[in-house]
């Protein structure tokens, strides 16, 4: 939980640091930092919409699944822990579960093949699963865990599901990023920390910057198929299950269970509001959210009419974020290194090489 200590930056008014940008332009709407996912879908009818979400069975992912399914969408939840997913999703209508472990590329392909075999359009793909601040760990390919889980394997999943996204003729891809991207850009010379000193939060920041760059490039290339993409900062959410998920196969079973218990306790009490009262953060961007509030921006990006005709942008607090300088500690806004089109193109090619798949959109 140390990640969510009070932000070290002084209070900085947005207008004093925002950098003009041609796409990152906030819009007028009724939502904000405290909006919940249920408030976003209130009165909506999503019947006939098909949603695919990774890790949509815990924390903010579970809230996202409930909101979309409750509004009538069919949600296919991709899960590595089928038993836990079945328990958490029990009783929620319109939800199906398929096995997928992002650290096992063959399961990505297998899940995608099962979905494509249904010959149904995918209207919304939410790349939600993620881990944070793990010790230096590598997958079977030798790739650093955080970049592999948060970025690379979602790139592979999106590539595999692209035909179904194109079939929707109006799909959206939601990449759940983070304000953690402010830590750094992508180190193309040593993405997997073969030579550099490994700093867990730097590696996390790199993976989330990568997701935003992927969003920028995907949106640029896929518009011809009426597919738009959005990168989402859900907010600081101490009651999320991401901390427990980050220790699966790394920490002990006791540690994972304890982190899950702690997160559940915070969700079932008024802990988040109490801690905000104690901390008294200086900027709205550093006010902790509960999981209902944390899921709101992903749901908004997935279904809001406010974003019709838009894409390739980073959103937070149910709005398009302003751009702030690289190196800024402000707890809001997107950094220019995450929007750079040359870096986005380079990352795309790098990911193709890493997974051995050409993701060509013609």
Q: Are 150 and 347 in contact (CB under 8 A)?
A: no
User: Do residues 69 and 96 lie in contact, with contact meaning Cβ atoms separated by under 8 Å?
Assistant: no
Half-sphere exposure of 262 (CA within 13 A, CB side): 15
Own/partner long-range contacts of 353-360 (Cβ < 8 Å, ≥24 apart): 354/141, 354/143, 354/152, 355/105, 355/152, 355/155, 355/156, 355/159, 357/156, 357/159, 359/155, 359/158, 359/159, 359/162
3-state secondary structure 270-319: CHHHHHHHHHCCCCHHHCCCCHHHHHHHHHHHHHCHHHCCCCCEEEECCE
Question: Residue 333 and residue 177: Cα distance in Å, rounded?
Answer: 12
Three-state DSSP at 33 gives: coil
How deeply is 116 buried, as exposed, middle or buried, from its count of CB atoms within 10 A (0-12, 13-18, 19+)? Answer: middle
Quickly count: other Cβ atoms within 10 Å of residue 227's Cβ: 24
Token pair listed for 16:
């004093």
Contact 309, 10 (CB under 8 A): no
Kindly list the catalytic residues. Answer: 204
> What are residue 244's phi and psi, to 5 degrees?
-70, -45
The residue with tokens 């509030």 is: 293
Tokens describing residue 49: 């919409």
Distance, in Å, from the CA atom of 251 to the CA atom of 282, rounded to the nearest integer, reads 34
Element (H, E) at 228: strand 227-233
Do 319 and 31 touch, CB atoms closer than 8 A? yes
């Amino acid at each position: 939980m140390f990640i969510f200590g009070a932000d070290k930056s002084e209070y900085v008014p947005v207008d004093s640091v925002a950098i003009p940008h041609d796409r990152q332009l906030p819009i007028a709407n009724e939502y904000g930092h405290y909006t919940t996912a249920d408030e976003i879908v209130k009165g909506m009818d999503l019947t006939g919409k098909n949603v695919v979400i990774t890790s949509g069975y815990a924390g903010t992912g579970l809230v996202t699944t409930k909101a979309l399914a409750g509004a009538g969408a069919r949600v296919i939840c991709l899960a590595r822990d089928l038993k836990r997913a079945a328990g958490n999703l029990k009783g929620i209508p319109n939800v199906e579960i398929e096995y997928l472990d992002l650290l096992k590329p063959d399961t990505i392909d297998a899940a995608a093949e099962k979905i494509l075999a249904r010959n149904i359009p995918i209207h919304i793909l939410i790349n939600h699963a993620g881990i944070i601040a793990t010790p230096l760990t590598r997958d079977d390919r030798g790739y650093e865990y955080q970049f592999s889980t948060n970025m690379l394997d979602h790139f592979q999943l999106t590539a595999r599901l692209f035909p179904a996204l194109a079939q929707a003729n109006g799909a959206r891809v939601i990449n759940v990023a983070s304000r953690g991207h402010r830590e750094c850009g992508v180190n193309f010379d040593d993405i997997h920390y073969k030579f550099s000193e490994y700093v867990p939060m730097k590696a996390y920041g790199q993976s989330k910057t990568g997701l935003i760059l992927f969003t920028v490039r995907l949106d640029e290339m896929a518009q011809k198929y009426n597919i738009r993409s959005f990168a989402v900062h859900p907010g600081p959410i101490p009651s999320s299950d991401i901390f427990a998920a980050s220790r699966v196969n790394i920490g002990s079973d006791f540690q994972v269970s304890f982190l899950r218990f702690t997160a559940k306790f915070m969700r079932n009490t008024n802990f988040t509001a109490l801690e905000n009262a104690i901390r008294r953060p200086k900027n709205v961007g550093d006010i902790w959210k509960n999981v209902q509030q944390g899921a709101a921006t992903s749901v908004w990006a997935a279904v809001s009419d406010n974003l019709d005709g838009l894409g390739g942008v980073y959103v937070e607090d149910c709005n398009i974020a302003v751009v702030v300088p690289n190196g800024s500690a402000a707890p809001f806004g997107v950094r220019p290194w995450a929007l750079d089109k040359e870096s986005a193109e380079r990352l795309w090619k790098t990911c193709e090489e890493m997974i051995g798949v050409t993701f060509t959109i013609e």
